[in-house]
Chains A and B, each alone.
Chain A
Amino acid sequence: MTGLWALVAVLVAVGATGLLLRAREGRIRTSAAPVATGPALPGPVRAALHPDDPVTLVQLSTTFCTPCRQTRVLLADLAGRTEGLHHVDLDVTSMPEVARELGVLRTPTTLALSSSGAEILRVGGVPRREALLAALAGHLPATNG
């Protein structure tokens, strides 16, 4: 009998979590107070910033992440076609402290950073191409699209 109630609870939890995850996937967040910025960025992230391109997408990935590969393909393609946009995939499997310092709890998470390291926005999960471009439009050269 306990098992039956547990099963009902499991089904409710799975339904709610599934809908929550789906709603959260690819959502763009612009943080009012970024966790770390500019000189305070973790070393590997600061090193990944492109000196000339106004926006660098720093994708945080781990080995244990299935959609990270898909995100890498999408963002590499987007950066290749978009002037002023640079993409770096950073594997934090063996350096979780980088994720901690940035307040990142899941992968893939993509941070859009300015060349000085200021956080413009971040995306959890596989980004949606058009929405991401639209959100970055004000930071990229006007020649795009």
Chain B
Amino acid sequence: MVKDAPVDPRGPRFTACMTSAVLVVVLLTGWWPLLAVQALVFAASGFVSLGLNPWSHVYRLAVRPRLGPTSEREDAAPLRFAQGVGFAFALVGTVGYATGLSGVGVVATSFALVAALLNAAFAFCLGCETYLLLRRFAPAPVRPN
């Protein structure tokens, strides 16, 4: 477990766009190995470090130089939380597709895509909207950190 430094808020938006694209491909093709890879990416960046998400490196190397610097910073904890939730959906989706329950795969992938698209298009904060709800319905501590 690494404690991530605050990040340039445009990075996660870029990551959310790329993640959305991956999930759209999964939905349209039902090719579950791609979803399995996405689940691994979610797990690595949610539970270990945001720096393990390959899209954050693409952003740093290829996108940020074109955008110019910003002094804005965003805490890493909400992003890690969202990646953890994404992992849960991607895991269920992968298991669904791989075991022939493609309905489960489609629904779980759709939920992950809703969250990623809302983030990309509306700067949606998943932790804001769901953390207290999760704690209310699951009294056993939900502690991604």
Contacts and interface: CB of A to CB of B under 8 A. Distances in A.
Given A17-B118, A64-B131, A100 B136 contact: yes
A63 interface: yes
**Chain A CB within 10 A, most for which of B117, B128, B129, B133:** B128
B127 A64 contact: yes
Interface string B9-40: 10000000000000010111110000000000
Interface in B118-141: 118, 121-129, 131-133, 135-136
Contacts of A68: 128
Contact of A6 (B106, B122, B132, B136): B106
B113 A10 contact: yes
A101 to B, nearest CB: 11
A74 B26 CA distance: 41
Interface in A68-125: 68-69, 92-93, 96, 99-100, 104-108
Contacts of B114: 10, 13-14, 17
Contacts of A13: 114
Contacts of A64: 77-78, 81, 126-128, 131, 144
B102 interface: yes
B109 to A, nearest CB: 8
B136 A96 contact: yes
Nearest to B27: A3
Nearest to B12: A66
B110 interface: yes
Contacts, number: 102
A6 to B, nearest CB: 5
B127 A4 contact: no
Contact of A96 (B74, B110, B117, B132): B132
B4 interface: no
A17 B110 CA distance: 14
Contacts of A92: 132
Given A7-B27, A105-B133, A106-B129, A66 B74 contact: yes
B118 A14 contact: yes
B52 to A, nearest CB: 19
Interface string A1-32: 01110110111011001100110000000000
A36 B123 CA distance: 32
A62 B127 contact: yes
9 smallest A-B Cβ distances: which pairs? A64-B127, A96-B135, A64-B81, A3-B27, A18-B122, A65-B128, A14-B117, A63-B77, A64-B78
